[in-house]
Structure 1
Amino acid sequence: MKNLFRNFYLLLAISTLAFTACKDDTDPTATINPAETLMDYLVETDMDLNHVLKNSDGQKFVMAAPADGNLSSKYIIDIRSAEAFNSGHIANAVNVPDFKNILTEAAKADQPILVVCYTGQTACYATSLLRLYGYHDAQALKWGMSGWNEATAGPWDNAIGDISEGHNNWSFNAAEPALGVFEAPQFISTALEGEAILKERVEYIVAQGFKGVEATDVLESPSTYFINNYFNTTDYSAFGHVDGAYRMNPLLVSPGSTEEAAVTNIDPSKKVVTYCYTGQTSAVITAYLRVLGYDAYSLKFGMNKLFNSSAAWTANQWRGDSSPKNLPLEQ
């Protein structure tokens, strides 16, 4: 796998030269792939995936509920249904039940944005898109309202499971499959410059809403997908993984070392599924990949759905090290 990474830039340079040599610059129908223009722009403006996961100030995309429940410094956008919101919400939160309206509401914010949902997954997806849109200090509430109060913990309590235990498509093989190198995905854009392409793509992905996939579907038919297990090396074998899953962590548009995977190691012809421990980091990655043009999905509830009772947990295990607080709810 390391040799593939060492050869990545050479292969990319060769393919770029071949494309340039074959392209007739006088042909008015000849076009440049907007995905490539967008990728270049994201790298140039310091918005590679690592700086969406953690911004230039070192602020992560997610924040835990404060011990005292005081979120007065945040503009809180609660994207749950009106019914759930009215049953109990954080003080001063604004309810935006239709995901496609998050950018409209974000424009009204006079403080850093905090997005809240049921489990943290859709909120993290929204946060990724908001950061790409220019709200670089936007965050999601970790675990969503499930982590806020026992009365709202149901969505996580009802989701955890051990569906991978003993499954034929679950592997403890420490050897990671070798990555290939692929062309960038293709999409249509009315814009020509990177900044405008990014704006158009974020708006388009917001309009589509959250994109997730059920863990059971992936586990039953892993060959249907290009699967990224977003674990560290130790956890890849300690927890086990979906058979054939790649381990692409870190994952960047422009890798700086042989230890980092590039988005061009992802096969754009397949449905791309990323899974992590909670479905929250994978949601950020999925939104980012969809903006780039990949048909990407986040595996819902991550390892907590696949193998919550595993002995390998050190952090982020629901009802293990992570349980709901008892913070105030307004109605």
Structure 2
Amino acid sequence: MKKLSLFLIGLLLVPALFTSCDRGEEPTDGDFVATPAFTLMKEYMVDNNLDINNIKGTKGQPTFFVKPAPAEADLATFLDTYYLMDIRSSADFAAARIDGANNVPFSDILTTAATTTKPILVVCYTGQTACYATALLRLYGYPDTYALKWGMSGWNAATSGKWDNNIGTIANGHPNWSDTDTAPTNLTFDDPTITTSLTNGQAILQQRVEAVVAAGFGPATVSGSDVLNSPGNYFINNYFSEGDYAAFGHIEGAYRILPFGLGDDSYKALNSGSNAQLVTYCYTGQTSAILTACLRVLGYDAYSMTFGMNGIYNDNPAWTSNQWGGDSGPKNLPIVP
């Protein structure tokens, strides 16, 4: 009888040994359900300081995602500190660049990052594509990566055309711009669905980053005029503080989801639907690029509204910082052909 009891106990323990090593749930009908890839990736990111706010960094701290162009007296130290990864076209790079910069195609940012031990400073035309690349590099395992704020437009007046020519005021008086409405109540949505054969959170994250890099930044952008003229086509997140949402005004119907992170489930306020084009806009298009990169990796159909508030309402009287042509503009730092 004792041998029979031990045998029965052994039979009960065998399934437990096999299932304890798998990530999944055992529903009442007995069918095993694997943990969704999104959940595996999310848990890995939270556990390894890769939540969205960690990727963006804290303003005023060394980890903040942008670095402004230096004062002329600090130029030599600045250039010696960073590996300058200029992701503009080869023609524009050849015409005018920062001395010591390296021209790197966007598609090669991950492999190139592995070749240097220096902190990486990504350079583009306006800072927007560089911010997108910075987020992807940080997610991939290069936390000491930054974007040059305002891009080459902020470095020298001779290379400032991409910002000079893309500020606008179309929101002023536009019927889809509101100065009075409060933000809609945030909703709750399901997690995005990620299709992969991988079952390891880190491997899923790396696979997702590689796919987003391969797609480039262009498909992840939408113009401010498109969003302003047809706000009903998008799920819009105005990434402003509550005070700025009211002071600046906002696109009609825009939500205000700030912050959003994975660890506290605040990200669930973002629409994950398959037909939902999730557009984030900020002041300059640089923060929204960082956030959009993270969201695309997470499986959202996400877009960054290019040039942000500067692109649609540059003359808004509420500006106190980050207004191109106001408190911000090009410096006169050297460029070389």
Q: TM-score, normalised by structure 2?
A: 0.87
Aligned residues: CA RMSD: 1.7
Q: Select the residue among 83, 94, 97 that pairs with 2:102.
A: 94
| Aligned residue in 1 for 2:253 | 244
Distance in 2 (CA, whole Å) between partners of 1:239 and 1:109 is: 42
Are 1:235 and 2:244 matched, yes or no? yes
Larger Rg: 2
Q: How does 1:165-184 map to 2 (within 5 A)?
A: 165-184=172-191
For structure 2, list consecutive stretches of 5 or more residues without a partner in the other structure: 1-23
| Aligned residue in 1 for 2:333 | 327
Question: Could you list the per-position Cα deviations for residues 141-191 of structure 1 after superposition, in whole angstroms to 9, with x for gaps in the alignment?
Answer: 000000000000000000000111111111112521011111100121231
Task: Say if 2:106 and 2:213, in contact at 8 Å, map to a contact too.
Answer: yes
Distance in 2 (CA, whole Å) between partners of 1:148 and 1:238 is: 30
Distance in 1 (CA, whole Å) between partners of 2:231 and 2:266 is: 21
Q: How many residues are aligned here?
A: 305
State the shift of 1:254 in Å.
2.1
Distance in 2 (CA, whole Å) between partners of 1:110 and 1:134 is: 13
Are 1:138 and 2:145 matched, yes or no? yes
| Aligned residue in 1 for 2:168 | 161
Q: How does 1:189-204 map to 2 (within 5 A)?
A: 189-204=196-211
Distance in 2 (CA, whole Å) between partners of 1:135 and 1:110 is: 10
Question: Could you list the per-position Cα deviations for residues 58-113 of structure 1 after superposition, in whole angstroms to 9, with x for gaps in the alignment?
Answer: 420000011123321100100000111011101111101x3111111111122000
Which residue identity does 2:34 align to in structure 1? T
Question: Could you list the per-position Cα deviations for residues 208-266 of structure 1 after superposition, in whole angstroms to 9, with x for gaps in the alignment?
Answer: 111110111111111111111001111101111011101111111122xxxxx711111
Are 1:35 and 2:38 matched, yes or no? yes
| Aligned residue in 1 for 2:64 | 60
What secondary structure does 1:297 align onto?
strand
State the shift of 1:310 in Å.
0.8
Q: TM-score, normalised by structure 1?
A: 0.89
The percentage of aligned residue pairs carrying the same residue is 51
Task: Say if 1:55 and 1:137, in contact at 8 Å, map to a contact too.
Answer: no
Q: Select the residue among 111, 130, 150 that pairs with 2:118.
A: 111
State the shift of 1:23 in Å.
7.2
Which residue identity does 1:123 align to in structure 2? A
| Aligned residue in 2 for 1:79 | 87
Task: Say if 2:277 and 2:302, in contact at 8 Å, map to a contact too.
Answer: yes
Which residue identity does 2:89 align to in structure 1? S
State the shift of 1:35 in Å.
1.0
